[in-house]
A and B are shown apart, each in its own frame.
Chain A
Amino acid sequence: MNIPIYLDNNATTPMDPRVLEAMLPYFNEKFGNAASRNHPFGWVAEEGVDYAREQVAKLIGATEKEIIFTSGATESDNLAIKGVFEMYKEKGNHIITAVTEHKAVLDACKHVEKLGGRVTYLPVKEDGLVDLEVLEAAMTPETILVSIMYGNNEIGVIQPIKEIAAIAHKYGALFMTDATQAVGKIPVNVIADGIDLLALSAHKMYGPKGVGALYVRRKGPRVKVTAQMDGGGHERGMRSGTLNVPGIVGLGKACEIAGLEMESEAIRLSALRDKLEKALTVLEESYVNGNVEHRLPHVANISFKYVEGEGLMMAMKDLAVSSGSACTSASLEPSYVLKSLGLSDDLAHSSIRFGLGRFTTEEEVDYAVEVTKTAVTNLRNMSPLWEMFKEGIDLDSIEWAEH
């Protein structure tokens, strides 16, 4: 067992050695530009890209012509939202998304607002899921796009994608999903789910950083997005720029491996996750955040009341995890995702996200449990809030000096 233990697989994943192996030839011997149509160097590179396109398409039930390679999910989200807004502005200017989306979606929506768009940010229920009735009530004839993430990066909840897509289509809007955390972890099928645009990223599924894709539906309906990058007209004109051939080959390989292994992996990971969660919620005043039924197999987000997340992580220095605590960000604001579940600020400050992955072992999970339990216990012994709680003092009755 190597210390520190990596349990932050929602932030990024280590590259699978098989992916690296597939990529290596494309750095030197197969270095050609995939757009060079007139010599073998270009053809070989193009072959690699074409094959990867098939691998990506296959994982999500798409056809290869529907895959646009990008630099990652942030770019895919931007291209989808801004691209749809520009392309369909004659039809309407209204976009619907949710408050728990990734910043790439939220900030792209804010950009659209500056361009005259109108955006509805749906609240979520206490378990992190979008309320379908609230969504339907927000639909208008001007709604051109509904963008709701597949699985949440902080709490792992899986949205009712099929139902959301059906509502969007009922009102003539397109449905897009940021599936960065879901693709490669759980079955995602653009046909069965009714997805029109889908963003994915390689480095969340054991592929390289700096490469991702946007699925853009070609049939029923044929979806178009306005390019956000001008240039050589690559990727059917939707995303110019010389293709990142080694990265794309790596993304393809990562998708292929995920397709083959994700079913058994999901079973293994959810068993480990449940073991971790069960062992940690034995601690008094610890709470699992988000819906525990509809969620990704590898994520556990737990609040340990009366200890602060950053302090806790420091005590868990043998574990690489993340926290919804303010202190981990420059903004000093606790996680907006946790707050939108209705969690009080102090519980948001007390949260730890454990993100398990392909290379996580049971031994590591057992060790993580011990480290976490000891850290929580030690910090509670140092916490004035814990002492007051134990003395039966109602913390809400105290007049705290806001600062």
Chain B
Amino acid sequence: MAYSDKVIDHYTNPRNVGTLDKSSHKVGTGLVGAPECGDVMRLQIQVDDNNIITDAKFKTFGCGSAIASSSLATEWLKGKSVDDAMKIDNMDIVEELALPPVKIHCSVLAEDAIKAAINDFRVKNGMEPIALEKSHH
């Protein structure tokens, strides 16, 4: 199948590939997916004292759409407050990257990764994890 230009752009020049110090209490890490399903995303956020995401990094094992979804997610996360980050919906990613139906699960995974990273950050800082609605797999 042909990929959209935006998927190809993110895949070819992925933004924010890398690793943040997961032991830091300023860093939240989300690891979602499973190797046997063919995609695993790790998304990390660094949060400052004002609850603003100052940095975001990812590493992804998966197809082009999965890599592009996580790359886009890190781009969107930077500069957002944690509360606003919580509102990122997988369908925004689908729309931005023009993902075909068979690739929607890649965007779902990216949304799950964002939420998992935020919850990891919250738990590390003594907050309750936010209850997540069961995502649309």
User: Does B39 belong to the interface (CB within 8 Å)?
Assistant: yes
How many chain B residues sit at the interface, stated as a range, is 20 to 34
Interchain CA distance A384-B22 in the complex, whole Å? 13
Given A306-B61, A308-B62, A403-B105, residue A384 in contact with residue B31 (CB < 8 A): yes
Q: B residues 16-75 with Cβ under 8 Å of A?
A: 17, 19, 31-42, 59-64, 66-67
Interchain CA distance A395-B42 in the complex, whole Å? 14
Nearest CB of A to B61, in Å: 4
Q: Which residues on the A side are within 8 Å of B36 (C-beta)?
A: 344-346, 349, 400, 402
| A325 contacts B17, C-beta separation under 8 Å | no
In the A-B complex, the 5 residue pairs with the smallest Cβ-Cβ separation, listed nearest first, are: A345-B36, A400-B34, A346-B35, A384-B42, A310-B63
Nearest CB of B to A320, in Å: 14
Q: At the interface with chain B, which of A164-172, A273-281, A326-334, A363-371?
A: A326-334
* Closest B residue, CB atoms, query A399: B34
| B38 contacts A383, C-beta separation under 8 Å | no
User: Does B76 belong to the interface (CB within 8 Å)?
Assistant: no
Nearest CB of A to B102, in Å: 6
17 CB contacts below 8 A, A to B, read: A306-B61, A308-B66, A310-B38, A310-B62, A311-B66, A314-B3, A314-B11, A326-B37, A327-B63, A330-B102, A332-B38, A334-B38, A382-B14, A382-B60, A395-B35, A402-B34, A403-B34
Q: B residues 71-101 with Cβ under 8 Å of A?
A: none
* Closest A residue, CB atoms, query B116: A401
Q: A residues 278-333 with Cβ under 8 Å of B?
A: 306-311, 314-315, 325-327, 330, 332
Q: Which residues on the A side are within 8 Å of B118 (C-beta)?
A: none
* Closest B residue, CB atoms, query A346: B35
Interchain CA distance A309-B66 in the complex, whole Å? 12
Interchain CA distance A401-B39 in the complex, whole Å? 11
* Closest B residue, CB atoms, query A386: B61
Q: Which residues on the B side are within 8 Å of A334 (C-beta)?
A: 38
Interface string of B105-129 (1 = CB under 8 A from A): 1001100100000000000000000
Interchain CA distance A314-B103 in the complex, whole Å? 15
| B17 contacts A311, C-beta separation under 8 Å | no
B residues adjacent to A (C-beta < 8 A): 3, 11, 14, 17, 19, 31-42, 59-64, 66-67, 102, 105, 108-109, 112, 137
| B61 contacts A384, C-beta separation under 8 Å | yes
* Closest A residue, CB atoms, query B17: A382
| B61 contacts A307, C-beta separation under 8 Å | yes
| B64 contacts A314, C-beta separation under 8 Å | yes
Q: Which residues on the B side are within 8 Å of A346 (C-beta)?
A: 35-36, 38
Number of A interface residues in the complex (CB < 8 A): 31
* Closest A residue, CB atoms, query B64: A314
A residues adjacent to B (C-beta < 8 A): 306-311, 314-315, 325-327, 330, 332, 334, 344-346, 349, 381-387, 395, 398, 400-403
Given A314-B64, A403-B109, residue A381 in contact with residue B41 (CB < 8 A): no
Nearest CB of A to B21, in Å: 13
Interchain CA distance A349-B40 in the complex, whole Å? 12
Nearest CB of B to A393, in Å: 11
Q: Which residues on the B side are within 8 Å of A307 (C-beta)?
A: 61
Nearest CB of A to B98, in Å: 16
Looking at the complex, which one of B14, B19, B35, B105 makes contact with A387 (CB distance below 8 Å)? B19
Looking at the complex, which one of A311, A384, A400 makes contact with B63 (CB distance below 8 Å)? A311
Nearest CB of B to A390, in Å: 11
Nearest CB of B to A187, in Å: 39
Interchain CA distance A349-B36 in the complex, whole Å? 8
Q: Which residues on the A side are within 8 Å of B40 (C-beta)?
A: 383-385, 400
Q: Which residues on the B side are within 8 Å of A310 (C-beta)?
A: 38, 62-64
Given A308-B39, A314-B11, A330-B102, residue A385 in contact with residue B61 (CB < 8 A): yes
Q: Which residues on the A side are within 8 Å of B37 (C-beta)?
A: 326, 345, 402-403
Interchain CA distance A334-B11 in the complex, whole Å? 22
Interchain CA distance A323-B62 in the complex, whole Å? 13
Interchain CA distance A382-B11 in the complex, whole Å? 11
Interchain CA distance A387-B19 in the complex, whole Å? 9
Q: Which residues on the A side are within 8 Å of B32 (C-beta)?
A: 401, 403
| B102 contacts A401, C-beta separation under 8 Å | no
* Closest A residue, CB atoms, query B14: A382
* Closest A residue, CB atoms, query B8: A314
Interchain CA distance A99-B102 in the complex, whole Å? 27
* Closest A residue, CB atoms, query B70: A382
